[in-house]
Amino acid sequence: MNDLLEQFLVETRELVQSATEDLLALEGRPGDAEAVNRVFRAFHTLKGSVGLFDYPPWFALLHAAEDGLSAARAGTLAVDAPLIDLSLEALDATARWSDAVEATGRLPDAAAGEAAALAERYRSLLSPGPKSTTEATGAVPDWAARLVASMADAPLGPSTAVRYRPRGDCFFSGDDPLGFVRKVPGLLAVSVEPAMPWPPHGEFDAYACNLDITLLAGTPRPEVEATFRLVSDQVSVVDVPAPSAGSTEPTPSSTLDPVVAAILGEQLLAMAAPGDTETAAGRLEACTRSAANALRSIGHEADAERCLKGADLGADILGQAIEAALAGGTLTGPGSGMEASGADGSPAGVHGGDTARTLRVDATRVDALVGRVGELVVARNALGSLAARAEAGEDLATLARAIREADAVIGRLATSLHRDAVSLRLMPLSEVFRRFARPVREAARGLGKEVAIDFEGQGTEADKGIVENLFEPLLHVVRNAVDHGLEDAGTRLRSGKPAAGRIRIAAGQDGDGIVVSVADDGRGIDPDFIRKRAVERGLRSRDAVLAMDDAAVTDLIFAPGFSTAGSVGALSGRGVGMDAVRAAAGRMGGRVSVESRTGEGTTVALHLPRTVALARVLVVGVGTESYGIAMDAVAEVVRVPRSAIHAVAGGAATVLRGRTLPVLRLADLLDHRDGAGIGMEALLLVVHADGETVALEIDRLDDRLDAVVRAPAGLVGTVPGVGGTTTLGDGTVLLVVDPAALLTDPAWVGQDTSGDGR
């Protein structure tokens, strides 16, 4: 069932996204019938999908939303702000519940209340004024409740229940009880029981009616009552409110298996239905077989045979046979079929913890990959023939040339294969961009600003890991732009700008990487304000900020501690989260930059890699510091007694499994003074570097992680032995040591001669 849930979540998110876009578009163009239709279809499909699982409140909400949008589509409900807002809220809830279901397998506890409230708002949109009267109906009588409970698919809306106890002599007054039942519009369920216990065989009166018929119809009460107008003295009709979600508890039925009874009843209706004459024979045969199968499924072979024989004599006789079986069913004791859909009828075993994310891949890319693999298989065949030629004693020079050719072909294919495989993880940034229309609208609305947002370069592609992590930092930037960058309409008009602010989110290739920028045409960042703030916050001295040029000062907005939350504005404090944005960019292996012109606007750009190569990094401690070491280089980690480390000429060594390894202290290599190097045992990393194997002594083993390791840049680039840097979850930068570089570094080569380093 996990496949199903996985696909459901993917589809749901897509539908929520597309419906959100259409709703936002409808705000501007309420008359767009196509968009209304698309939104309706989205809710309709969402409802259908949610219905596959056991989430009654969710389903009820989507059902109500579908009703509302259906009315909008039909033109009976205005497509205006209340409907759009409500529908956006419904989509919000749907998105949140998808997340909850993915994470926990169930809806949040608050979902039921929220769903009911939202559904009620749809209903009040549809019927303003006093609430419908069905809710005022008192308790539902037992027999009606039993009927509802016996139904496996309980009616979703209000229904009408009828109890019909025909008079004993009704056949003589020309009444046709089952005929009436057949005519009930929207018949949902029928139950036929004996009104009195059946008399002993000898006293049985075939002409006396002894039936207690209860039925449920999905149609309003007046329509149902009309059907029974001739026998109104023998029926009681009650309104049954829509079941509160999830509350229907099947109770054991004492009549003919309700599924079988319903199928038999349906065949009666089907035979009475008008239809083409060419298909009449086929339909009758299908009804016969359906009725006979249903009876056979509960072991009523005799009744089944009667139906099959009756069919040969025509629809009427078959009808009588079915009616007889239906009535006779009252004698056969409890049904057995409904247990199958009993209390635990939940179709979805969604409680599994497997939440592996799926990746949607353009089919052409998969095709390319498959094609490439095919070529590789063909290329491999060449190796077999080469082996044969070698066995045949072909001369070595020719053979070597052939092998080199084969190697070139396979090498080229392997490279392409790698590129194709990496491209599978590429996804367009439109996935992220499309999520912005909504927050921007809300942010602008909350501030009473007008904002037009547009996008550029949505087709730019990047690794799934980048695209999926881009939203949060970009949202910080966008919110800041709306909150602080853009002026209110009055100010804008006074400074000769259009009233509506403009935000452009753009993406493009930038060498090997991508750049994603958020540009606003607002007031820009005032360098003097930043100077003042930086000094206030104690980030820089007054002299320092005065010495810095404006661009360098503007960069200070990314400094940790530059801003405090909640200082200005409801959405974001001034500059709030810009250091978080920088940290996020760092975690993805990128950086962030800002460019601003006073009065003209601000552009914040994230420079990110296009593909991500994750490296497994071991985090080790030396003294109070932590360093990373690429796990590839580490063969093993061992603890040895310190007595097993011996001073040798030019250093220290230990014997591991009969092999002598030089022992180097990482603290010495990194010129640390505080590396302890004490204790009874030494912790050693056995490292392969440049064809050598050495043991590196460390103080602690902290962690292992998958990280994006960037080539060292700036000052760090000059530190010997540093292979790169990576940003940890908390934003701190970890130096990743390159053992090979460290070991060939002249600093320690020199140390080599300094005698016992210990």
Partner 1 sequence: MSEAGIGGPPHVLLVEDASLVRLYYRGALERAGFVVDEALNGIEGLERVLTATYDLLVVDVNMPKMDGLSFLRALRGREPGVRAIPALMTSTEAGDGDRATARAAGANFYLVKPVPEGVLVAHALALAGRQP
Residues that bind partner 1 (CB under 8 A): 1, 3-4, 7-8, 11, 44, 47-52, 54, 59, 152-153, 156, 185-186, 218-219, 257, 259-260, 262-263, 266-267, 269-270, 273-276, 278-279, 281-283, 285-290, 292-294, 296-299, 304, 308, 336-342, 345-347
Q: Cβ 289 to partner 1, closest distance in Å?
A: 5
Closest CB to partner 1 among 174 and 274? 274
- The CA distance from 216 to 177, in Å, is 15
Query: In angstroms, what is the minimal distance from the CB of 183 to partner 1?
Result: 12
| Angle value at C-alpha 252, between 250 and 253, nearest 5 degrees | 110
DSSP 3-state of 262: helix
- CB nearer partner 1, residue 277 or residue 718: 277
Least CB distance to partner 1 at residue 174 (A): 26
Q: Give CA angle at 580 (578, 585), nearest 5°.
A: 95
Q: Residue 258 Cβ, how far from partner 1 at the closest point, in Å?
A: 9
Tell the smallest beta-carbon distance from residue 64 to partner 1 (Å): 14
Nearest distance, CB of residue 342 and partner 1, angstroms: 7
Nearer to partner 1, 298 or 728 (CB): 298
3 state DSSP class of 207: coil
The token pair that represents 379 in the structure block: 């290329």
Q: Which of residues 272 and 719 has its CB atom nearest to partner 1 in the complex? A: 272
Does residue 171 contact residue 207 with C-beta atoms inside 8 Å? yes
Angle at the Cα of 309 from the Cα atoms of 304 and 315, rounded to 5 degrees? 100
Counting Cα atoms < 13 Å in the Cβ hemisphere of 334 gives 7
Please state the closest distance from residue 276 (CB atom) to partner 1, in A.
7
Q: For partner 1, give the closer residue by CB, 292 or 462.
A: 292
The CA-atom distances, in angstroms, between 10 and each of 49, 56, 102, 377 are 11, 20, 10, 34
Helix (H) or strand (E) holding 44: helix 33-50
Q: Is 573 exposed, middle or buried (0-12, 13-18, 19+ CB in 10 A)?
A: middle
Cα(358)–Cα(600) distance, integer angstroms? 43
Q: Distance (Å, rounded) from C-alpha 715 to C-alpha 29?
A: 55
C-alpha 101/C-alpha 116 separation (Å) is 19
Q: Whose Cβ is closer to partner 1: residue 36's or residue 298's?
A: 298
Tokens of 457: 């370069």
Whichever of 256 and 696 has its CB closer to partner 1, that residue is: 256
Nearest one of 14, 125, 5 to 53, comparing CA atoms: 5
CA distances from 189 to 51, 215, 258, 294 (A): 21, 5, 8, 16
Residue 148 neighbours by CB under 8 Å, 6+ apart:
140, 154, 155, 159, 161, 189, 216, 240, 243, 248
Smallest distance from partner 1 to CB 277, Å: 10
Q: Minimum distance from CB of 214 to partner 1 (Å)?
A: 20
Of the pair 119, 645, the CB lying nearest partner 1 is at 119
CB of 44 to partner 1, least distance (A): 7
Name the minimum Å distance from CB 299 to partner 1. 7
> What does each C-alpha distance from 69 to 41, 44, 83 come to in angstroms?
9, 9, 8
Considering only CA atoms, which of 60, 66, 113, 108 is closest in space to residue 87?
66
Nearest distance from C-beta of residue 26 to partner 1, angstroms:
23
Minimum distance from CB of 194 to partner 1 (Å)?
A: 23
Measured from the CB atom, the residue of 63 and 492 that comes closer to partner 1 is: 63
Burial code (b: 16+ CB inside 10 Å, e: under 16) for 591-624 equals: bbbbbbeeeebbbbbbbbbbbbeebebbbbbbbe
Whose Cβ is closer to partner 1: residue 219's or residue 751's? 219
Distance CA 15, CA 574 (A): 35
Distance spanning both ends of the chain, measured CA to CA: 61
Exposed/middle/buried for residue 585 (C-beta within 10 Å: 0-12, 13-18, 19+)? buried
* Residues 354, 103: Cα–Cα separation, whole Å: 9
Q: How far is the CB of 186 from partner 1 (least distance, A)?
A: 5
Smallest distance from partner 1 to CB 156, Å: 7
Q: Where are the alpha helices (DSSP H) in 548-608?
A: 550-554, 578-587
Beta strands across the sheet bearing 651-656 = 634-641, 681-689, 692-698, 659-665, 651-656, 645-648
- Least distance (Å) between residue 297 CB and partner 1: 4
**Three-state secondary-structure class, residue 718:** helix
Q: Give whichever of 347 and 560 is closer to partner 1, judged by the CB atom.
A: 347
673: helix, coil or strand? coil
Residue 43 has which token pair? 């809710």
